[in-house]
Amino acid sequence: MSLAVPVGAHGIRADRFVADATGMSRAHVQRLIREGRLTRDGRPMRASLLVWAGDALELDVPEVRPPEVLAEPIPLRIVYQDDDLLIIDKPAGLVTHPAPGHAGGTLVNALLALGGPETFGGIAGVARPGIVHRLDRDTSGLLMVARNDRAQASLMAQLKARRVKKTYLALVGGEPPATAGRIEAPIGRDPRHRTRMAVVPDGRPAVTAYRVRERFGAWTFLEVDLVTGRTHQIRVHLASIGHPVAGDPVYATGAVRRGPEGLGRLFLHAWRLELEAPAGGRVIHATAPLPDDLERVLTALRRGRQGSGA
């Protein structure tokens, strides 16, 4: 992979420049540099070396080796595809990629049934072919998958630069007083419960915006813009302002944790994506309608509202 250093990157560290230019994590870039895979004029670079405008760097990203995960014929709903990109409407209950406790039955297993690992980008590693971001298991909706390394690098860079617009639909407990709001609060590991995230002073910056679509008294239906992409961000931010997502088993309690009648899972759906095509620069828009199980919950709430005369 060839990387030309622009004027705006003059004088910054090599590892930081490569991470910003490719969208890879800095830790992953540093591993590649330690392996001698980043060169300038044919000479291996150190992570701490500075790059200068006009430099031509070469990054050797290892080819994808056959993954240990197996292809599985899991049905997938593809809402958009071209030579560089798939956009999948992931159902609730499907884990994005293999992890401890989920070696099979994941989106990656389903993707491998569509083609071998060479069919997708390999930058994220052999266990995550084409993966550029993830959704929680119980969150449904749109997920991007890269079909080659160039597309994967482009999509990861867009995500890092916050150029991908991601909008979710959520049902929350209570009634936010304003019709629109913006939550800016850092997120990190909960110091008391290390398996959870929380708003903490030393966390990573996180921004979530929301707009009210419908009010149902004890419940409110929101449209939520994910400006940054921290782990569990929407769930943590909404819980932090006293309006946790309905059906959330981690960040909600009591009646909100159970959700309204008929809700059997987290009421959170990745509804809309807007991004730049990896090749050509055109804007791609994709939407995924609210799944039937969540739509039925809203229908029941609307009937209840009408029955009460609200």
- Stretch 200-213: mean pLDDT, rounded? 96
Would you say residue 275 lies in a domain? no
Q: Which of 137, 118, 1 is nearest to 64 (CA)?
A: 118
Q: Which of 41, 39, 42, 84 is nearest to 61 (CA)?
A: 39
Position with higher pLDDT, 99 vs 35: 35
Same domain, 90 and 171: no
Report residue 221 CA to chain centroid gap. 21
Instruction: Give the model's confidence band at 126: pLDDT under 50 very low, under 70 low, under 90 confident, else very high.
Output: confident
Pair 134, 147: CB distance under 8 Å: no
Same domain, 81 and 141: yes
Domain limits for position 131: 77-160
- Stretch 130-149: mean pLDDT, rounded? 94
Question: How far apart, in whole angstroms, are the C-alpha atoms of residue 213 and residue 302?
Answer: 12
Q: List % helix, strand, coil for the chain (3-state, nearest 5).
A: 25, 30, 50
Question: Could you give the C-alpha distances from 122 to 128, 135, 144, 145, 153, in angstroms and in order?
Answer: 7, 19, 14, 11, 10
Would you say residue 91 lies in a domain? yes
Same domain, 186 and 298: yes
Q: Where are the beta strands (DSSP E) in 102-233?
A: 140-146, 165-173, 180-184, 187-189, 197-199, 207-215, 219-226
- Stretch 39-49: mean pLDDT, rounded? 93
* Predicted pLDDT at 66: 47
Same domain, 177 and 261: yes
pTM of the model: 0.78
Pair 96, 145: CB distance under 8 Å: no
pLDDT in tens, 285-310: 999 999 999 999 999 999 987 766 55
Whether 136 is a known active-site residue: answer yes
Same domain, 222 and 206: yes
Same domain, 154 and 83: yes
* Predicted pLDDT at 7: 87
Position with higher pLDDT, 156 vs 100: 156
- Give 127's DSSP letter: T
Give the CATH number of the domain where residue 299 resides.
3.30.2350.10
Report whether pLDDT(46) > 70: yes
- Stretch 186-191: mean pLDDT, rounded? 93
The rounded mean pLDDT for the chain is 92
Same domain, 190 and 264: yes
* Predicted pLDDT at 206: 97
* Predicted pLDDT at 118: 80
Q: Which of 34, 64, 68 is nearest to 49 (CA)?
A: 34
Give the CATH number of the domain where residue 52 resides.
3.10.290.10
Same domain, 186 and 303: yes
Both tokens of 198, joined, read 């929380």
- Stretch 99-118: mean pLDDT, rounded? 83
Same domain, 112 and 200: no
Same domain, 106 and 24: no
| Beta-bridge partners for 208 | 183, 226
Same domain, 153 and 189: no
| Beta-bridge partners for 272 | 167, 287
- Stretch 154-181: mean pLDDT, rounded? 96
Would you say residue 33 lies in a domain? yes
- pLDDT above 90 covers a percentage of the chain that reads 77
Q: Which of 48, 47, 51 is nearest to 10 (CA)?
A: 51
DSSP result, 226-246: ESS--TTHHHHHHHHTT-PBT
* Predicted pLDDT at 100: 65
H runs (alpha helix) in the chain = 14-22, 26-34, 107-114, 149-160, 233-240, 254-258, 292-307
Total domain count, the chain = 3
Report whether pLDDT(183) > 80: yes
Domain end marker among 160, 193, 210: 160
Q: Of 31-35, 63-67, 121-125, give the lowest mean pLDDT range.
A: 63-67
Q: Which of 89, 136, 149, 248 is catalytic?
A: 136
Report whether pLDDT(24) > 90: no
pLDDT in tens, 222-268: 999 999 999 999 999 999 999 999 999 999 999 999 999 999 999 99
Instruction: Give the model's confidence band at 195: pLDDT under 50 very low, under 70 low, under 90 confident, else very high.
Output: confident
* Predicted pLDDT at 22: 83
* Predicted pLDDT at 261: 95
Same domain, 210 and 299: yes
What dihedral angle (degrees, nearest 10) is formed by the CA atoms of 38, 44, 46, 51? Answer: -70
